[in-house]
């Protein structure tokens, strides 16, 4: 059975009880934590810094954490978040003056390497960097705020990324972030997604276990239907 990952996005969590909320969502079945970093320059919002990540690690949260950097300049932040306990570090090519250098810096820091693509970012940028990637993250919305609706045309873009991965570097994980919910989860499985970043759909519920269990059941059911065709 193929491994799928549910990544609760803590941008939608209760910040007054952040550590407690994260532990609850992990107990309920979340596989890794998606940690959005926004600087109010690259995207129009201001969120979390490396001290928050360190405090979560100090609070015995040991699950993998994908730090999604939507900020520039990015290299100094990579060093700080790696020191604070990031597992993956994902950045957007528009935030780096030298993309290859930034990719190598993440690897040198001991973290898994991710690249984030906005809805309008052309896919040909992947042709020159895929050999350095562990993760490709496609935004299903324009980045900046949680609770947005998934852009339908991103399904086609996911299919194209999946084809690139399968033909060149099949160990790369394909992640989608933004507007993921129970209504489109099956379409995302069909498009070849490995990691489902889900924020408000989980955290707006009073029962994380029920929501995550239903999501996982839908993922597995859709995948079983695909392989049995």
Model pLDDT for residues 116-130, shown as the tens digit of each residue = 999 999 999 999 999
Q: Work out the burial of residue 49: count CB atoms within 10 Å of its CB; fewer than 13 is exposed, 13-18 middle, 19 or more buried.
A: middle
As a whole number of angstroms, the distance between CA 93 and CA 65 comes to: 20
Instruction: Say which residues have a Cβ less than 8 Å from residue 223's Cβ, sequence separation at least 6.
Output: 1, 2, 4, 189
Q: What pLDDT, on a 0 to 100 scale, did the predictor assign at position 45?
A: 87
Q: Minimal CA–CA distance to 91: which of 76, 103, 81? A: 103
As a whole number of angstroms, the distance between CA 224 and CA 229 comes to: 9
As a whole number of angstroms, the distance between CA 223 and CA 44 comes to: 36
What's CA 199's distance to the chain center, in Å? 10
Annotated active-site residue 166? The verdict is no
CA trace torsion 153, 159, 160, 163 (10° rounding): 180
Assess contact for 42 and 71: CB atoms under 8 A: yes
| Ranges of the chain with pLDDT below 50 | none
Q: What pLDDT, on a 0 to 100 scale, did the predictor assign at position 17?
A: 96
Of the candidates 21, 36, 39, 66, the residue annotated as catalytic is 36
Q: Minimal CA–CA distance to 73: which of 92, 88, 54? A: 92
Q: How far apart are the first and last CA of the chain?
A: 15
Annotated active-site residue 36? The verdict is yes
Of the candidates 21, 66, 134, 177, the residue annotated as catalytic is 177
């Amino acid at each position: 059975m193929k491994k799928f990952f549910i990544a609760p996005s803590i941008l939608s969590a209760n910040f007054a009880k952040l550590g407690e909320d994260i532990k609850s969502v992990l107990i309920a079945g979340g596989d890794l934590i998606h940690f959005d970093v926004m600087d109010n320059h690259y995207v129009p919002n201001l969120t979390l810094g490396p001290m928050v990540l360190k405090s979560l690690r100090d609070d015995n949260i040991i699950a993998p954490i994908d730090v999604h950097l939507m900020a520039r300049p990015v290299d100094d932040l990579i060093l700080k978040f790696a020191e604070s306990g990031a597992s993956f570090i994902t950045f957007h090519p528009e935030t780096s003056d030298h993309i290859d250098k930034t990719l190598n810096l993440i690897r040198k820091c001991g973290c898994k390497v991710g690249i984030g693509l906005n809805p309008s970012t052309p896919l040909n940028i992947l042709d020159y960097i895929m050999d350095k990637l562990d993760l490709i993250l496609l935004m299903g919305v324009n980045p900046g705020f949680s609770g947005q609706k998934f852009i339908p045309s991103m399904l086609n873009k996911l299919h194209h990324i999946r084809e690139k991965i399968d033909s060149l570097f099949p160990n790369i994980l394909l992640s989608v972030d933004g507007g993921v919910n129970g209504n489109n989860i099956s379409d995302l499985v069909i498009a070849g997604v490995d990691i489902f970043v889900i924020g408000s759909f989980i955290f707006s519920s009073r029962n994380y276990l029920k929501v995550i269990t239903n999501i996982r059941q839908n993922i597995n059911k859709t995948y079983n239907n695909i392989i049995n065709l």
